[in-house]
Amino acid sequence: MKVGIFNIGKILSGDIGAPVASGDTVVMNDGTITSVGTEGDLAACDVTIDAGGMMAMPGLIDSHVHITFGDYTPRQKTVGFLESYVHGGVTTCISASEVHVPGRPRDSAGVKALAIAARKCFETYRPGGMRVHAGSVILEPGLSESDFADMQREGVWLAKAGFGNFPTPYDYEPYVAMARRYGMVSMVHTGGASIPGSTGIWADHLIRIQPDVSYHVNGGPIAMPDADFPRLVEESAVAMQVCTAGNLRTTLLVAKLLANCGQPDRLLIATDTPTGSGIMPLGILYTMSHLVSLGGVEPEIAVAMATGNNARVYRLNSGVIAAGRDADLVLVDACLGGSRNDALSALKNGDIFGVASVITEGIPRFVGRSRNTPETIRRAKVAQCSVAQTFGAEH
Ligand SMILES: [Zn+2]
């Protein structure tokens, strides 16, 4: 399917180095963005969407979601939460490990099988159109080189440290190094213990372990001491993920420290849901709004922190609006009835975006209005359509 969007007020690229792309038109074909600019072969499109002057951004990438199997969370006993996140503009979820699977295994054979099974269950399954990167192996003592080789062969590329049966957090170091040797992106739980039996993980541990990502560095939900934050910034190159289901004060502290040293590309926005804090379809939008309205982050930079920054660290082809990237796009605007007239001013005011349309894999999933955000000021509508497809309720 070839899809074109025209009449875009501003293209928020998701690339933190060049966060606004010039032009008003994006064309996609077979799941890939083919052109971004002022020209675009709209006449050849199967579907065209009039953005009505609102802004476009890449689909949000939530790099901390506790999926299990199917579109179901045992933690909150809720069906359909992933599909609901699509209505918050989230087009990609990355598994923070399948730790919520009831009775989840704790032996190396079990955690390996769990990661492989989860990975395979989401290879083609897209709830609401969302891409789910599942299968994040929970690092446990006893996992061997051959286990990692098996997992790599079966496509597992995520490893999570923090819930394993290790005497101290330092003992994760060789396992994270082993995961890296087998091509995996590694994440380490940061802050106070989040589940019974897990211990607090602070800067000393992270600096020794050297993972790719400090998971919920702001605390998940309990933060490490303030003195540990500048150490992590200065003594490591780890990506620092801030989560909605965590400590807001330390989220703002992380943003300030990274801004001061000119490294905002290390900040990743995610939710850490579903958890005890619940299910948050709009969680990323809230954290973006907090960083902009309270933390001094420019709004188009906050978009990049929730899209392109995550894509770079997790090596995804989504997260940026540019030719050749995955066609995952969201149309956003200020919400109807608010005091601001466009999406970026709304964030500065502490409001969230209204989501008007979500496109994933080059397919419009809905056009008109999100189920979860307030209505937008401007209206997006299908201008022309020559395929048998419905685009959700246009109300
Ligand atoms: Zn988590």
Model pLDDT for residues 225-258, shown as the tens digit of each residue: 999 999 999 999 999 999 999 999 999 999 999 9
pTM of the model: 0.97
Listed in sequence order, the DSSP H helices in the chain are 81-86, 108-121, 145-153, 173-181, 203-209, 228-235, 248-260, 283-293, 299-305, 308-313, 343-348
- CA of residue 227 to ligand 1 center, whole Å: 23
- CA of residue 337 to ligand 1 center, whole Å: 35
- CA of residue 265 to ligand 1 center, whole Å: 21
- CA of residue 95 to ligand 1 center, whole Å: 9
Average pLDDT (165-194) is 94
- CA of residue 388 to ligand 1 center, whole Å: 40
- Tokens of residue 204, six digits: 């000393």
- CA of residue 366 to ligand 1 center, whole Å: 29
- CA of residue 307 to ligand 1 center, whole Å: 19
Q: How confident is residue 146, by pLDDT bands cut at 50, 70 and 90? A: very high
- CA of residue 195 to ligand 1 center, whole Å: 10
- CA of residue 281 to ligand 1 center, whole Å: 15
Give CA angle at 257 (307, 161), nearest 5°. 60
Q: Name 109's Cβ contacts closer than 8 Å, sequence gap at least 6.
A: none
Please state, for a pLDDT cut of 90, what percent of the chain lies above it. 94
- CA of residue 296 to ligand 1 center, whole Å: 26
Question: Is 80 exceeded by the pLDDT of residue 136?
Answer: yes
- CA of residue 276 to ligand 1 center, whole Å: 10
Question: Is 80 exceeded by the pLDDT of residue 394?
Answer: no
Question: Is 70 exceeded by the pLDDT of residue 224?
Answer: yes
Average pLDDT (109-120) is 98
Q: For position 391, what pLDDT does the model report? A: 77
- CA of residue 58 to ligand 1 center, whole Å: 24
Q: For position 196, what pLDDT does the model report? A: 59
Q: For position 198, what pLDDT does the model report? A: 60
- The pairing of strands 158-161 and 185-189 is parallel
Question: Is 70 exceeded by the pLDDT of residue 387?
Answer: yes
- CA of residue 21 to ligand 1 center, whole Å: 33
Average pLDDT (150-171) is 95
For ion ligand 1, residues whose CB falls within 5 Å:
96, 272
Q: Per-residue pLDDT tens for 267-310?
A: 999 999 999 999 999 999 999 999 999 999 999 999 999 999 99
Q: For position 395, what pLDDT does the model report? A: 41
- CA of residue 323 to ligand 1 center, whole Å: 33
Question: Is 50 exceeded by the pLDDT of residue 12?
Answer: yes
Q: How confident is residue 389, by pLDDT bands cut at 50, 70 and 90? A: confident
- CA of residue 275 to ligand 1 center, whole Å: 7
Stronger pLDDT, 335 or 388, i.e. the higher one: 335
Q: How confident is residue 208, by pLDDT bands cut at 50, 70 and 90? A: very high
**DSSP for 373-387, written as a single string:** SPPBSS--EEEEE-S
- Whether residue 184 contacts residue 161, with contact meaning beta carbons closer than 8 Å, is answered with no
Q: For position 41, what pLDDT does the model report? A: 87
